[in-house]
Amino acid sequence: MVLKFKLIIFVLILFWNIGLFVLPLSHIFEKAIYAFPVLNDLYGNVCHQEIPKTIHINDSPLQVCARCSGIYFSAFVFSLLSFIVSKKFYQHRFLISGVIIIVIIDVMLTTFGILDYSKISAFATGFLLGSVSFIYFYNALIELVSKKQGIN
Amino acid sequence: MKKILPALVPGFAVGVLQIVPMLKSFACCLLIPLAGFFSVTLYQKSTGSENKIGISKGIVLGLFTGIFAAVFTSLFEIFITLITKSNDLVLTYNELIQTMDSLPFDAALKQQVIDLMGSMKTEIQTTGFSLLYSFTIIFNNFLTNTIFGMIGGAIGAQYVNSKFKRNNHVE
């Protein structure tokens, strides 16, 4: 049951990540462009999508900004890692608070012009936040599934 | 009602905050998971519980938050579009066309997609309402807000529970 859950999470995150690449992918699969108006609005719900802040592949932007790309890419990486980890990932109470503070500092510094916006730092902080969030989410699901298995 | 109210407050807050353009750019994808997270902490505060919260309860709270957020966000967005006859699609239309133009594929295919977006833009600018656009935002809001709300709820429950290491009783 745990493996089934891991697989479902992995597939969902994989599809979500593929959707980010709709414009670069349309260079290879032209028909992918039909999904663009819907996907553009879908990802627009969860990201500001400012073109200068997005990562470009083949001169085509991804559907979300560099920070969000980091979040979703890390979720993908950790969902892959979850197949190797047999139990829960290590988590600490202050981990998520610490990472959120780092992200807020990075956002503040660039928003108020103290530092120039860097896609690398945005991606890196996003990656940190995404990985810690995934760990919490994954551990919560594993706890839930294990509890259900114990009852059944 | 105990689960509805802690979800309604952050859900409504998201609905309001998502229509503030500058704030959307600032909060990005964190707004809905944070709302789910806060619904769990609000629930704990409202019940005055000193015990761990069940993960499934956290997920349900996050789901309710997502549903409320989707309802309020869609309502506000449709209502404001109706009054102002402008929205994100109208404002970013030229940018989207430029992005489409930069793609190296069949002009007819490109034109079909541009026409589709153009018809939505024209409808919004003339009547303030586009059925296709409204359907798209309602569907997308429900899809993303419920999923991200549940993620936030699960993370919130896990975070709240980490405070009660010694107390193993789960509500």
Q: B110 touching A, CB under 8 A?
A: yes
The tokens describing B71, both together, are: 């309802």
Q: Count Cβ atoms below 10 Å from residue A44 Cβ, excluding itself.
A: 19
Q: Which of A33, A36, A50 sits opposite B25 (nearest CB)?
A: A50
Over 90: is that where the pLDDT of A104 sits? no
Nearest CA in chain B to A107: B26
Q: Could you list the residue range(s) of the whole structural domain that residue A8 is in?
A: 2-151
Over 90: is that where the pLDDT of B9 sits? yes
Distance between B170 CA and the closest CA of chain A, angstroms: 11
User: How many structural domains is chain A composed of?
Assistant: 1
Q: Where are the domains of chain B?
A: 1-85+128-171, 86-127
Closest CA to B171 of B60, B55, B41, B62: B55
**Apex A64 CA angle, A59 and A70, nearest 5:** 100
Distance between B66 CA and the closest CA of chain A, angstroms: 12
Residue A121: predicted pLDDT: 93
Higher pLDDT among residues B117 and A17, named by residue? A17
What's the N-to-C CA distance of chain B in angstroms? 17
> Do A46 and B148 lie within an 8 Å CB cutoff?
yes
> Do A50 and B105 lie within an 8 Å CB cutoff?
no
Nearest CA in chain B to A110: B26
Over 60: is that where the pLDDT of B166 sits? no
Average pLDDT of every residue of chain B:
84
pLDDT tens digits, one per residue of B88-114: 788 888 887 887 777 666 777 778 888
pLDDT above 90 coverage of chain B, percent: 30
Question: Hey, what long-range contacts does A92-97 have (CB within 8 A, 24 or more apart)?
Answer: A92/B162, A93/B159, A93/B162, A93/B163, A95/A132, A95/A135, A96/A132, A96/A133, A96/A136, A96/B155, A96/B159
Residue B105: predicted pLDDT: 66
pTM value is 0.80
> Do A42 and B140 lie within an 8 Å CB cutoff?
yes
Average pLDDT in the B24-49 region? Answer: 83
B148 interaction partners in chain A (CB closer than 8 Å): 46
Q: B91 touching A, CB under 8 A?
A: no
Residue to substitute from A48, A54, A94, A100, interface B, most B β-carbons within 10 A: A48
